Amino acid sequence: MKFGVIVFPGSNCDIDCFYAVKDVLGHEVEYIWHDTEKLNGFDCIILPGGFSYGDYLRCGAVARFSRVMAAVKEHAAAGKLVIGICNGFQVLTEVGLLPGALVRNKNLKFICDTVPLKVEANDSPFTSLYQKGEIINIPIAHGEGNYVADEETLKKMKENGQILFTYVDNPNGSMSDIAGICNEGRNVLGMMPHPERACEDILGNSDGKRLFESILNALEGSLKNE
């Protein structure tokens, strides 16, 4: 399976994502510079965390216009997998691939911690190896992770089971304790917590590894069906 990690000016979790795919999972992965026009041959695209374009104006607002994002939209429209982690999640909401927006944490603080998450749904390519209702611990590191959406959008997301992860102890003020969501097509994931930082027991936590293994499972399954 081939993963691609998008690198914007200011991305700083790109190497962690690359490492998780290559060294932990043992799969092929390439860095993709933000001015790349075509994404050919990638099974899953990762938008990593960081401060793309300095987070000027709003987090993800400028990254949205980088050349590669048109290609990411095409990739998603073809039903292929896209994950946005932290700043990547913010970019995906700005570009409209995911509903809602992320605003300043309620307590105004940048929060760097490991927090318990509840897996709300496991019928997605990103969460299939978790149990529904399972509590996992995943690191967070953000100042603007407070998820907001209008009531109608929230209601629709709940009905469709698009909320995949919620915080057990809401750290940032997110509506409905939302930590991670997917789109209606269930092929685009956005989450503020960092699964790529929780992939090895030797680093203290491997709860995030199953997210990547779920993706591999889904990709291998779709190959068999072709």
Between 92 and 111, how does the x/- string for binding to other proteins read (CB under 8 A)? -xx----xxx-xxxxxx---
Q: How far apart are CA 104 and CA 90, in angstroms?
A: 12
The residue type found at 19 is Y
Kindly state the smallest distance separating residue 108's Cβ from other proteins, in Å.
5
Identity of the residue, 38 or 109, whose beta carbon is nearer to other proteins in the bound complex: 109
Q: How far apart are CA 162 and CA 220, in angstroms?
A: 23
Between 17 and 36, how does the x/- string for binding to other proteins read (CB under 8 A)? --------------------
Q: How far apart are CA 172 and CA 188, in angstroms?
A: 23
Is residue 57 a contact point for other proteins (CB under 8 A)?
Answer: yes
- Binding positions for other proteins, 135-194, rule CB under 8 A: 148-150, 173
Kindly state the smallest distance separating residue 67's Cβ from other proteins, in Å.
16
Kindly state the smallest distance separating residue 158's Cβ from other proteins, in Å.
18
3-state SS track over 63-90: HHHCHHHHHHHHHHHCCCEEEEECHHHH
Closest to 208 measured CA to CA, from 133, 127, 132: 127
Kindly state the smallest distance separating residue 145's Cβ from other proteins, in Å.
13
Q: How far apart are CA 14 and CA 18, in angstroms?
A: 6
User: Which of 86, 142, 144, 199 is labelled catalytic?
Assistant: 86
User: Pick from 15, 61, 70, 111: which binds other proteins (CB under 8 A)?
Assistant: 61
- Binding positions for other proteins, 75-94, rule CB under 8 A: 93-94
User: Which of 94, 120, 144, 196 is labelled catalytic?
Assistant: 196
Q: How far apart are CA 124 and CA 204, in angstroms?
A: 26
String of DSSP letters for 101-170: EEE--TT---EEEEEEEEE----STTTTTSPTT-EEEEEEEESS-EEE--HHHHHHHHHHT-EEEEESS-
User: Pick from 23, 33, 54, 65: which binds other proteins (CB under 8 A)?
Assistant: 65
Residue 86 is a catalytic residue: yes
- Binding footprint of other proteins on the chain (CB under 8 A): 57-58, 61, 65, 93-94, 99-101, 103-108, 148-150, 173
Catalytic residue numbers, as ranges = 86, 194, 196
